[in-house]
Amino acid sequence: MPIAHRASILHFIADPDTVALDQAYEYYPDGIMVIDDGKIKSIGLAEDLLPSLGTDVDLTEHGNALIIPGFVDTHIHYPQTEVIAAYGEQLLEWLEKYTFPCEAKFHDEDYARDIAERFLDELLRAGTTTALVFGTVHKESVEAFFKACEKRNLRMVAGKVMMDRNAPDDLIDTAQSSYDDSKALIEKWHNRGRLRYAVTPRFSPTSTEQQLQKAGQLMQEYPGVYMHTHMSENVDEVKWVKELFPERANYLDTYDHAGLLGRRSVLAHCIHLTDEEWQRMEETQTGIAFCPTSNLFLGSGLFQLNRAVKHNLNVGMGTDVGGGSSFSILQTLNEAYKVLQLRGEQLSPFKGFYLATLGGAKTLDMSDVIGNFSVGKEADFLVLDKSCTPLMDFRMSKCTDLFEELFVFSMLGDDRAIKQTWSAGELVHQRD
Ligand code: GUN
Ligand code: ZN
C-alpha cells in the first residue's frame, strides 16, 4: 500500500558548484512525497498532489519539519565505536594505543555482532542511511556487519581490512589469505539485497606491495566492487610511506601502481596531496571522503575542498568514527565549515547538505538508487525537527529563508534534530 509524508521537503539534483543555485535543488515548503514498495513514487507541492492522492494512501503529516534524503557517510569504522573519544594522540600512536587493541576483539563473531548492532543504532540515530564501512582484518567482523545490515534492509558498503605488516601479530593476514577471505566475502555479499563489498587495504604502511597487488587483482576480477582506504592523512604517515615504497613516485602511486584507483575507489582524508597526486585523482575519477571531525581530533590537517572542486572530484562527508568524534553528519558539517573558515574557504549550507546527501551518493557511485527523491529511487529519508531543543526552536524562529535554516541545522544540530529515519520506506529510527 502506498504511503505519503507531508512536511517541507528538500533534495538536491545537482552540485551547487556546477550549476546555478536554483538548478541545484528542489524545495517544497509544503510538500508531499508518495512512496510505494519502498521507492519514491511522486513528489510535489501538497496543493498539487493532495487532490489526486488515492484514498488508499496512508498520509503522515509531520507538521513544522523538514524532510531530506538520508545522510551518506563515506568513511567510517564500525569496530572503532568503542574507541571514539580516546585521548591525546595523533594518527600513528592513536592506532597503536587504542585502535589495534580494540580491533583485535573482532575475531569473535558474537562480539562483532553486538558492536555492529550498536553501531547501526548510532548511525540511524544520526540520520545516516548509507555508509562506506571498514571492518577489521577478521572476516567474521564483516560477516557480522552484513548480517546486521541485511536484517534491517540497509544500503551499506563494507569490507574486510587487508593488513599484512606493521601491525600486531593477531591483526595480521597475508597477501594470499586476505585475497581468499575477501574473495569469499565478495562472492557471498556483494550485491546481495542492498549490500555491496569494498576491497579494503587499511593504508599503504600496513600492506606489502604483494598485498596491494592482490587487492588490485580482486578489483579486476570483480568489476563493480569498491576500493576503500586511507590516503595522505598525517605528515608522519606520508613520510613513512616514502620510506616503505622508495620505488613509487608518491603516496598515491602506491595504490595506482596496484590498479586501485577509479570511479568506485574512495580515499579518506587526502589532506597532504601533491599537485601530481591531485592531477592523478582527477584522471582516475577517484572519490574523496572529507572527514573534518577526525582531521581536527587527530590533528591531521585541513582539507582543501576548493582544490577538489577545481579537479572535478567527487567528495562526500565522512565521520571516520572512531578517529572522528561524532556519528552525526550535522556535526561533521559544523566542523567542515570551521575547517574551511581556517583555510579562507566558505562552505555554504547548500553545498554542505549536497555533500551529505547526493554528493555522498555520487562519491559511492550510487546516485542511481539513493541520494535524492527522484522518482524510482529508494526511499531513504529523514524527518528533521526544527524545534528539537529550546535554542534550536528559538534560533529557527529568527530564520527568514531556507539557507539560514540549513545553516542553523548544521551548526546547532546533532542526533536530537533527527526525529525519524526511514530506510526503503520503513521507519528505522524514531527519536524518543
Ligand atoms: N589510517 C590507517 N588506519 C586508520 C584508521 O583506523 N583511522 C584513521 N583515521 N586513519 C587510519
Ligand atoms: Zn578511517
CATH class of domain segment(s) 71-363: alpha beta
| Separation of alpha carbons 68 and 384, rounded Å | 8
Query: Side chain identity at 271, as an amino acid letter?
Result: I
Phi, psi of 30 (to 5 degrees): -125, 95
- DSSP letter (8 states) at residue 350: H
- Beta-carbon contacts of 432 under 8 Å, excluding residues fewer than 6 positions away, are none
For a pocket test of ligand 1, which of 80, 106, 171, 203 has the largest count of ligand atoms closer than 8 A to its C-beta? 203
Nearest-atom number in ligand 1 for the CA of 134 is 6
Residue with cell 595504490: 255
Secondary structure (3-state) at 318: coil
Distance CA 204, CA 207 (A): 5
Predicted pLDDT of residue 432: 81
**Alpha carbons 187 and 297: distance in angstroms, whole number:** 37
CA atoms in the 13 A half-sphere facing the CB of 192 = 14
- Residue having the nearest C-alpha atom to atom 11 of ligand 1: 230
Rounded to whole angstroms, how far apart are CA atoms 255 and 222? 17
CA nearest ligand 1 atom 9, residue? 323
The values of phi and psi at residue 336, to 5°, are -60, -40
The tens place of each residue's pLDDT in the chain, 432 residues long, gives: 899 999 999 999 999 999 999 999 999 999 999 999 999 999 999 999 999 998 889 999 999 999 999 999 999 999 999 999 999 999 999 999 999 999 999 999 999 999 999 999 999 999 999 999 999 999 999 999 999 999 999 999 999 999 999 999 999 999 999 999 999 999 999 999 999 999 999 999 999 999 999 999 999 999 999 999 999 999 999 999 999 999 999 999 999 999 999 999 999 999 999 999 999 999 999 999 999 999 999 999 999 999 999 999 999 999 999 999 999 999 999 999 999 999 999 999 999 999 999 999 999 999 999 999 999 999 999 999 999 999 999 999 999 999 999 999 999 999 999 999 999 999 999 998
CATH class of the 3-69+372-430 domain in this structure: mainly beta
CA 77 – ligand 2 centroid, Å = 6
Give me ligand 2 centre to Cα 2, in Å: 39
**Ligand 1 pocket test, candidate residues 95, 163, 297, 321, most atoms within 8 A of CB:** 95
Find the 91 Cα to ligand 2 centroid distance in Å: 10
- Give the HSE-up count for residue 350: Cα atoms under 13 Å, Cβ half-sphere: 19
Q: Which grid cell is 290?
A: 572529507
Nearest atom in ligand 1 to 300's CA: 9
Does residue 197's CB lie within 6 angstroms of at least one atom of ligand 1? no
Q: Which ligand is nearest to the CA of 204?
A: 1
Q: Quote the CA–CA distance of 337 and 351 in Å, as a whole number.
A: 10
From the list 118, 88, 109, 86, the residue with the least C-alpha distance to 99 is 86
pLDDT digits (tens, 9 = 90+) for 69-115: 999 999 999 999 999 999 999 999 999 999 999 999 999 999 999 99
Peptide bond into 216 cis (omega under 30): no
DSSP per position, 295-360: HHHTT-----HHHHHHTT--EEE---TTTSS-S-HHHHHHHHHHHHHHTT----HHHHHHIIIIIH
Helix (H, G, I), strand (E, B) or coil at 412: helix
Q: Is the CB of 323 under 6 A from ligand 1?
A: yes
Task: Determine contact, residues 84/297, Cβ cutoff 8 Å.
Answer: no
Q: Is 202 in the pocket of ligand 1 (CB under 6 A)?
A: yes
Q: How far apart are CA 280 and CA 59, in angstroms?
A: 49
Residues 384, 365: contact at Cβ < 8 Å? Answer: no
Nearest to 136 by CA among 85, 100, 95, 189: 100
Nearest atom in ligand 1 to the alpha carbon of residue 230 is 1
Whole-angstrom Cα Rg for the chain: 21
| Residue appearing with cell numbers 524514531 | 430
Tell me the three cell numbers of residue 37.
514498495
The cell for 47 is 496543493
269 lines ligand 1 (CB under 6 A): no
Q: Which ligand is nearest to the CA of 96?
A: 1
Q: Which helix (H) or strand (E) holds 99?
A: none
Distance between CA 176 and CA 14 in Å, rounded?
42
Helix, strand, coil: what percent of the chain each, to 5? 45, 25, 30
CA of residue 230 to ligand 1 center, whole Å: 7
| pTM to 2 decimal places | 0.98
The cell numbers describing 213, all together, are: 597487488
Which atom of ligand 1 lies closest to the CA of 324? 9
> Where are the domain boundaries for CATH 2.30.40.10 in the chain?
3-69+372-430
- Alpha-helix residue ranges (DSSP H) falling in 126-268: 139-152, 175-189, 209-221, 235-244, 251-256
Supply the residue whose CA is at minimum distance from atom 1 of ligand 1. 230
Q: Which ligand is nearest to the CA of 234?
A: 1
Which ligand minimizes its atom distance to the CA of 80?
1
Contact 399, 408 (CB under 8 A): yes
Q: What is the pLDDT of residue 79?
A: 98
